[in-house]
Structure 1
């Protein structure tokens, strides 16, 4: 049996992300063809090996074991750590008599190996390494009682904290905390199948470094269960900047029109234009909604085209249009001809707010797909909430479902921005992007993403926007990751971000 524990990121190929029901089916199918208790023994061994690799000099290890099979994995890990000569404290936050069969057997094995099982939770967890095996895949409600108290104690721990399968208190599918108490791990070992909640919402923040061990269940066996989503590659692939051929000219790479920049917000449109230029479009036209604003003096390559939305006979019907960046209320008036005539359309920011507030515009947007016109929406959670008629908190509570709802309702590609950006489209399996960090949390970076997407899309007019969106999101986050790796602490300013993406693309 070939097995390995490996880091999940970086990633060069998409990987399936299985929901709770599918992960349970994979586990049940594997257990049915193996001797009893095999999967839990393998899981515990994988946890123990990773624990020793993460903290090779740890003198005190504390395993927090909960009432289910996740606790059984922790008990098996304690057994292997004891056999390797490590002193291990096991805190069982459950009634031993009520443990599931597999976990009860692991408790017996740990006791036979000399483990000291304690049930009283100390005021402070004195350990060099904590192993969180409190709650696993089946957790559906806020932690309570002794388990909640143990999770609270982990907040005081300053050393390595390894979570088994997922941090206790985190929902496996949504990446949302189940309650007010949730483990913040330095490392998480996902067993058997990867879960969507590890990569979106608060999952990335709470999981720390992510590891995976298939515990001997190979990819063909896992592939029998349909995934809920896929994890997008983080490394550059075929979707990066297009290779230019010798005989091509600027007309070979398409035109982008940026419509936005209401009074006081012209900078947003300019940033989008700069990004579209860097992404590879042949010609960029800025159509700024502020009549007093001129072009972009810092980038004279960007051409000023007033009221481009009225040019419905030529420019608008052939170009890729990015609409909404800094558009303010003024953008609502230009949306009807844009929605009617543009073949490839990226809608961002105030264009999304205007559509959310107007049922007629929503109908016009949904009608585009029936005419063979393609649209990509790039909302942040609050803009997504307005489109759905709910709160931003509800969007964040289930980001995958929110993106899928918008995509189905409006027949568009959706890029739901945030930690673990979600890409969704009708009749497509959604994808979660794993690049990026909080260096992007500054004004203008969303305008850069929208503009880059338009510039990446323009040279490939036959595409529906999915691949340009996927590649743009990956590169957008990768630029922030590169800046963080280089020691950057402050925010990555939007104009710098354009150049950073160009350097990586």
Structure 2
């Protein structure tokens, strides 16, 4: 059993690969996989709640319910007080699950068709609920009866262990099953034990909130997981090129930040966004940072370490450019030159909105050669505009959306959100596992854009720079001091 940490770099597989690996394991193993899964579940259950007085197993009508029944059998044989509520008719269970039900019944495990209400009311924080309602094959919205059981689990004071995937979660996307939006219909697990291989939805969308600590049991040798190409890899620890004693400011790259529309343009002054991006590049250790505000005026609030220049005076061909932060409508006339001339480019925010509305600008982005690498950093709505689809479609297929954008524009893509996806042509995409809801505040995306620009200026490839910056950006939020508000300006100052 492997504890999946934010720095594990573990491969992630979709449902098709999982089924193939499952068949391979079953053909090679003398022990049925369901019995193996049930034993490991029981072992983790005891590790989670060693002093529990009551264990309730909510078992569904499929193989996930069979895993729960096998776990209940083991826990009962080890002397624990276990009750199983089995949804649906026993006669309609799949063959392995039916056999597990028979063995549990013959061993004396109490199995009923409804949750034991009085018993559940007596459960405390040392007791345990095991969610074995639905596995990875579910796609439809939960039935009314299933919804009721999920809500019973969530109301319980006991710890919750989800088998394979928390009920209500789409294991492919991290969204709610069937496009639901009510998060009360999603089991909130203390820990999740997933089998065969890690699933992408555990690390994206609502999966980040629902799964708790994630454990992986491959039910075989870990090397077998790599027999099929991974759909994605978990993003690993951030990288940074060290500053040597013999280096100087020119050794660590020049970053130019172009953005910041004036208040007079549309009554929405956004110079702060560009200042935040430049401040991030500064604190991340880039050699020299030039701030070019589209307002046409110098910023009095910008750190004195920044050089302020009119963008038309910049030698774009030799600069790592971060463009779009707070750019508003003023960024549109700037983009043709930025796209054609910038040596390396991070395109964010209003730069992406302008790109989505102009086929000509999209053509210029595609024409940037390998010698002019680009990173784009859309959030789901910006990605939907670029792909001419809906935000819901992007969120339901985050890995595909990021890869489609990377292929469309031949660039590196950072699709932001819960479980940020980093994709580029010819590379396995990464799913980032650091970060939390503290980042849901204005300006943190500008900080990320500036950080990516700094890492590119320091010599990392666009893909490595994006992976490194996203990991570090998230980890700072994960490590943020309790009781202190995370603001974008504070976040920028903590970069190094």
TM range (shorter): over 0.9
Shift of 1:122: 5.2
Secondary structure of the residue that 2:495 maps to in structure 1?
A: helix
- For 1:475, the equivalent position in structure 2 comes to 472
- For 1:25, the equivalent position in structure 2 comes to 20
1:259 aligns with 2:264: no
Shift of 1:424: 0.9
Listed as ranges, the gaps of 5+ residues in structure 2 are: 263-268
- For 2:266, the equivalent position in structure 1 comes to none
CA distance in 1, matches of 2:144, 2:31: 31
Trace 1:120-135 onto structure 2 (pairs within 5 A). Answer: 120-121=114-115, 125-126=120-121, 127=123, 128-135=127-134
CA distance in 2, matches of 1:418, 1:443: 14
1:295–1:302: 8 Å Cα contact kept in structure 2? no
- 1:99 corresponds to which of 86, 93, 108: 93
Shift of 1:168: 1.1
- For 1:221, the equivalent position in structure 2 comes to 224
Shift of 1:123: 5.7
- 1:115 corresponds to which of 109, 116, 129: 109
Q: What do residues 134-187 of structure 1 show as CA deviations (whole Å, max 9, x unaligned)?
A: 110111222225333322322322321110011012111111111442212121
- For 1:403, the equivalent position in structure 2 comes to 402
1:438–1:491: 8 Å Cα contact kept in structure 2? no
Shift of 1:113: 1.6
Shift of 1:393: 2.2
1:255–1:320: 8 Å Cα contact kept in structure 2? yes
Trace 1:187-202 onto structure 2 (pairs within 5 A). Answer: 187-202=191-206
CA distance in 2, matches of 1:121, 1:51: 19
CA distance in 2, matches of 1:415, 1:218: 33
Trace 1:291-440 onto structure 2 (pairs within 5 A). Answer: 291-292=296-297, 294-295=298-299, 297-306=301-310, 308=311, 310-311=312-313, 315-369=315-369, 372-440=371-439
Per mean C-alpha deviation after superposition, the further-off stretch among 55-64 and 342-351 is: 55-64
- Give the alignment's Cα RMSD to 1 decimal: 1.6
- For 1:290, the equivalent position in structure 2 comes to 295
1:69–1:136: 8 Å Cα contact kept in structure 2? yes
Shift of 1:214: 2.2
2:154–2:188: 8 Å Cα contact kept in structure 1? yes
CA distance in 2, matches of 1:94, 1:378: 46
- For 2:456, the equivalent position in structure 1 comes to 457
Secondary structure of the residue that 1:154 maps to in structure 2?
A: helix
Q: What do residues 60-111 of structure 1 show as CA deviations (whole Å, max 9, x unaligned)?
A: 1110111211111100110111112111110001221111121111111111
Give the 3 Å change call, closer, same or farther, for CA 232–188 of structure 1 in structure 2: same
Secondary structure of the residue that 2:368 maps to in structure 1?
A: helix
Shift of 1:298: 4.9
2:355–2:386: 8 Å Cα contact kept in structure 1? yes
1:201–1:397: 8 Å Cα contact kept in structure 2? no
Per mean C-alpha deviation after superposition, the further-off stretch among 122-131 and 200-209 is: 122-131
Secondary structure of the residue that 1:136 maps to in structure 2?
A: coil
CA distance in 2, matches of 1:491, 1:428: 36
1:139–1:171: 8 Å Cα contact kept in structure 2? yes
1:232–1:433: 8 Å Cα contact kept in structure 2? yes
- For 1:182, the equivalent position in structure 2 comes to 186
Shift of 1:389: 1.6
2:218–2:225: 8 Å Cα contact kept in structure 1? no
2:57–2:130: 8 Å Cα contact kept in structure 1? yes
Secondary structure of the residue that 2:428 maps to in structure 1?
A: coil
Per mean C-alpha deviation after superposition, the further-off stretch among 27-36 and 252-261 is: 27-36
- For 1:49, the equivalent position in structure 2 comes to 43
CA distance in 2, matches of 1:365, 1:139: 40
1:286–1:295: 8 Å Cα contact kept in structure 2? no
- For 1:275, the equivalent position in structure 2 comes to 280
Per mean C-alpha deviation after superposition, the further-off stretch among 328-337 and 185-194 is: 185-194
2:59–2:84: 8 Å Cα contact kept in structure 1? yes
- For 2:215, the equivalent position in structure 1 comes to 211
- For 2:265, the equivalent position in structure 1 comes to none
Give the 3 Å change call, closer, same or farther, for CA 36–244 of structure 1 in structure 2: closer
Q: TM-score, normalised by structure 2?
A: 0.93
CA distance in 2, matches of 1:405, 1:287: 32
Secondary structure of the residue that 2:23 maps to in structure 1?
A: helix
CA distance in 2, matches of 1:359, 1:159: 55
Shift of 1:15: 1.0
2:348–2:376: 8 Å Cα contact kept in structure 1? yes
CA distance in 1, matches of 2:458, 2:155: 53
Secondary structure of the residue that 1:501 maps to in structure 2?
A: coil
Per mean C-alpha deviation after superposition, the further-off stretch among 329-338 and 100-109 is: 100-109
2:283–2:494: 8 Å Cα contact kept in structure 1? no
Q: What do residues 474-498 of structure 1 show as CA deviations (whole Å, max 9, x unaligned)?
A: 0000001111xx324x641111112
CA distance in 2, matches of 1:206, 1:349: 29
